[in-house]
Structure 1
Amino acid sequence: MNCIRTIVAAGLVAASTSAFAADITGAGATFPFPIYSKWADAYKKETGNGLNYQSIGSGAGIKQIQAKTVTFGATDAPLKHETLEKDGLVQWPMVMGAIVPVVNLEGIKPGELVLSGEVLGDIYLGKVKKWDDAAIAKLNPKLKLPSDAITVVRRSDGSGTTFNFTDYLSKSNAEWKAKVGSGTAVEWPTGVGAKGNEGVAGNIGQTKNAIGYVEYAYAKQNKLTYAAMVNKAGKTVQPTIAAFQAAASNADWSKAPGYYVILTDQPGEASWPITAATFILMHKDATDKAASQEAIKFFKWSFEKGGKMAEELDYIPMPESVVKLIEKTWSSEIKS
């Protein structure tokens, strides 16, 4: 966990030392925390302004923005148009990334283990209990798999990462869809709970024979062993920026009310199957309009100058055409 916490700490220092000057507060998703922290640090150095962002999970972030206790909320589980209208909120995608299965298996290197959505669903249903189960062995004929029991790790908090992960399982495993379904929090059939992407990453790193799911930056920064996946086209793909972009290229943001787009299980031979966008929520008519406008300045700066930083952490910047749509949304829907 040390590596990811260093990134997080850098962002929090930038946030906390200038929160009083800028008075921008945000809370929510852990999925984008590494890049939000990096942006916050760079923005403070350039402008002298910062933000205070709490990485507490999408569910809690939604509750905080609905309660008007923060300037913005952050979620990987987008709200539907009806909910946005009811709560007087505006929503837009900020950056895209990917979720990867991670394991702690002795002798297995990153990308060597291959999993499918069907098998992953069966593991999380508790049907596939051991690493040398025939379903896993069939996908990995050349790997020597241990006969040990699988320790399943999942999120304990309301989570947008969980929303996208369970959405993918629902699309690729019929029994999972029927018995569990998708959501920011579900009735898990099995597994040990951990809080945040940080908690899951830490648990996997410390637990032999464990499997979990995290945003890719957490896997990379914590040097966790990620799995390759069989995608919708039946091709085995590695988690790479090119595979994430291949999935993201299917998105049609212009026709989606509230930019409600889910990127899991997209078509294309090169597509990573568990790709996701992460979203910002703000009030159309904020109580603290000065803080609201300061937040918009930060987001505008992040779109304009943060793309390279996002790519360095294996996130996908929003396309310029989408950024232009978002800027029009700010102008038309957020009162200054």
Structure 2
Amino acid sequence: MAGGDVEVLAVAGHEVRITNPGKVFFPERGDTKLDLARYYLAVAEPLMAAMGGRPVLLQRFPNGATGSSFFQKRVSPTKADPWLTTTKVSTPNGTVSDALVAVDLAHVLWAVNMGCLGFHVWPNTAADPEHADELRIDLDPSPGVGFEMIREAAEEIRKLLDAHGIASFPKTTGNRGLHVYARLEPKWDGYQVRAAAVALARELARLRPDLLTAAWWKEERGARVFIDFNQNAPHKTVFGAWSVRANPHGQVSTPFEWAELATIEPRELTLANVPARVTDHGDPWAAMTPQSLAPLLDLHERDMAAGLMDAPWPPVYPKMPNEPPRVAPSRARKED
């Protein structure tokens, strides 16, 4: 239903207003705010399978992909939208806020109307905040690292997780990299999931030191792919599957099959063509089911027994037990 400069969409039992529906959000293609809303309608089933019931951090671009942006942590139901669902979350620095919960597609489209380009998703559901039920491995190109190396790194992750009985699922980041996910049984908190990610990164670096590194400090990485274990730190959000990035051509963080790894081209996956992929091939993550983290925690226990310290944490977190000094190696040498 349209009226004036408002489009009203009936979604999940609610009426969601899309104001200024013709406002161009993606100038390279000319896609509008309404086009963005229709994109999410088209991928609703796999989107909600990946994000449904989880708290989300909104990255808002009121003037479209090429405009300024800000993150919105706090959301409150309004008189116009009293049905909005929120939940208490903590950010890495300990700030508590009421975050939007992606209960259904109406909540997603409400955020789209607010200019949200990018849903940054918590690794837990709102119903079970104490357990992180996703392992998330981030592979982003850095200086000297091309996308072919990212592909090869993803394949090494798949092989290692397969060897430990853990099924994994890849997606593009919506930018130039890849993410690899594994759905977990809701038994472990964020500290344990991060410990498992550290152990995974270190094991990969041992197996392929020419390609992969677990070095937190950039000066130690060289032209190797960094396995970013700290994306699994408690309360850390990651750019969500099926979310549209704020770039001029509307690139999507797109799940895909491992069989596509050699040919996938992230920049070609946009809000204009991803719905057709879903129509033709379904949800590449449909087989994702909860599984045990125990095999990776066994690697962590082995490393700790061998005398390894924890890996460094990001600076916004408090100092952790068994964490090495938070100082770059080159600076430490100068101080010594």
Q: TM-score range by the shorter chain?
A: under 0.3
Q: Which has the larger radius of gyration?
A: 2
User: Greater relative contact order (Cα 8 A, min sep 6): structure 1 or 2?
Assistant: 1
Q: TM-score, normalised by structure 1?
A: 0.26
* Larger relative helix fraction: 1
